[in-house]
Amino acid sequence: MEKSWTRVRMPGGRTIEVLLLGDASGAQAAGSPAQNASLPAPSRDERVLHRCPACESELVYPTAWQERGKEHWRIELRCPACEWRGKGVFDQALADSFDEELDRGTEALVHDLDRLTRANMAEEVDRFAEALEADAILPMDF
């Protein structure tokens, strides 16, 4: 499986890096007909870009954004859960809502990473303290 990073410019002007996983051709595994499908047109009230129309995962992310006039964005999307891909042109309000959802997801990831980092560091400190108490650390260890 090929991995590649791409930079995506968000509607607010920020740039994020997205890791793309897949083969070099961008083809999808057999048995996944939703690849490169256009997004369905649900009612305006229920339209969200972060939810996969194929599997309902809320992990859909943009792989490319491009302005289309003053009030619209062409957005290519990918679901990491089922490998669905879609694209479409969306108004500024929907793009802004998607951007806010991506921000919430980023905050959640950063929070989880911080908790995991602290837990790992606490475990290392405990092991180091136990090694000190047991006189298992010698000057040559440094």
Q: What pLDDT digit, counting tens, does each position of 64-87 carry?
A: 999 998 899 999 999 999 999 999
Q: How far apart are CA 26 and CA 123, in angstroms?
A: 41
Question: How many domains, in total, are found in the chain?
Answer: 1
Residue 124 falls inside a structural domain: yes
User: Looking at the domain assignment, is residue 50 inside a domain?
Assistant: yes
Q: What is the pLDDT of residues 77-116, one digit of tens each?
A: 999 999 999 999 999 999 999 999 999 999 998 999 999 9
Q: Judge whether residue 123 has pLDDT over 70.
A: yes
Is the pTM value of this prediction over 0.75?
Answer: no
Range of the domain at 129: 2-22+34-141
